[in-house]
Amino acid sequence: MFKRIGIVVNQKRKDIFYHLNSLVKWLQEKRIEVLLPLSIGKEGSYRELIVDEKRMNKADLIIALGGDGTFLRAARNFSPYNIPLLGINLGGLGFLTEISISNFKSELEKIIEGKYKIRERLMLETSILREGKKIKSFLSLNDVVISKKALSRIINLKTSVSGEFVTTYAADGLIISTPTGSTAYSLSAGGPVVYPDLEVIILSPICAHTLAVRPLIIAQNDEIEVVLESSLEDVMITIDGQIGFTLKEKDKIKVSKAPYKAILVKREKKLFFKVLRNKLGWSGVTYKTS
C-alpha cells in the first residue's frame, strides 16, 4: 500500500494544474498523503502539500504527471533513493508513462490495491574528464548523446570498451543508450529495439562517415570511454535529451552502469510488444501470398 505519494509535473503544459487538481483530490479521498516539490510553486491550494527535497525522498511512490520527459527527470532525481516510479501520460508518444490521464482513476485504483508488477531498469552514469580531472557527472535512464550543436564538419570520437579500442567514429555523433532508451533517439539513428528488461548497453553512431560502421551492443558491466578528437567548438553532450554540456577537444567521456536502477511500477497486463505496435504503428495484419 502506498501511503505517501509524491507528484512531479510538467509545468510547461497549460492544463497541468487542472489535471494535478483532479489527481490530488482523488488521492486525498483515498487518505493518501500527497507531497509536491518546491519547484511546483505556490499554485492555488497546494501550499500545504509542498515539501522540501528530504521529504520528497521519503515518498513510497513518485508519480510523474506529464510525458516521457517528466518521467525521465523523475528517474534521475529519485532512483538513487530506490523509490518506485509511475508515469501518467497527458498525451504524446508515452513509451515510459504507464497509464493515461483519461482513465487514471480505475488504473491507479488497481495499483494502490497492489495489482501491479515491478520492473527494474538499467541506468547509466556518465563522467566528463578534462585534463585528467572530473568536471561533471550525470545520471540517465534513456541515453547519453555526443553530437554537434549545429551543421558543421563531422566529429571524431575515439571509442574504447573496457580498455579495448573499438574504433574512432567519424560521424555526426554517438548515442550511448540503455534498452529503455533504445526506442528513443537511438532508434531514429538506426539502432535496434532492445527488450527493456535486458541489461545491455547500445552504441549507435549518428550518420557515420562509412557504411561499415553499425550499432554495437555490449554487456552492462563494460565501461565505455570516448575521447573527443575534434577541435570544433560546437560539440556537446546531452543527457536524456534534457541536460546539455559543451565539450572541448581531448575531453574524455566515461559511461558505465549506474550503481542503482530505476524502479518502474507497471500494470499487470500491459505487454511490451503491444506497446510497440501501438506506438510505432506496426501492423498486426497477416497478408496472404499468391
* Active site members: 68
> By the 8 A CB rule, do 125 and 262 touch?
no
Give backbone dihedrals phi and psi of 7, rounded to 5 degrees, phi first.
-125, 130
Provide CB contacts within 8 A for 285, sequence distance 6+: none
Neighbours of 180 (CB within 10 A): 26
Cell digits for 160?
Answer: 574504447
Question: 220: which DSSP letter?
Answer: T
Alpha helices in the chain (DSSP H): 16-29, 53-56, 68-78, 104-112, 185-188, 272-280
Cell digits for 55?
Answer: 521529504
Neighbours of 58 (CB within 10 A): 12
Neighbours of 17 (CB within 10 A): 17
Neighbours of 3 (CB within 10 A): 12
Write the DSSP string, 171-232: ESEEEEE-SGGGGTHHHHTTPPP--TTS-EEEEEEES-SSTT---EEEETT--EEEEE----
Amino acid at 261: K
Q: Please give the Cα distance from 197 to 119 (Å, whole number).
A: 7
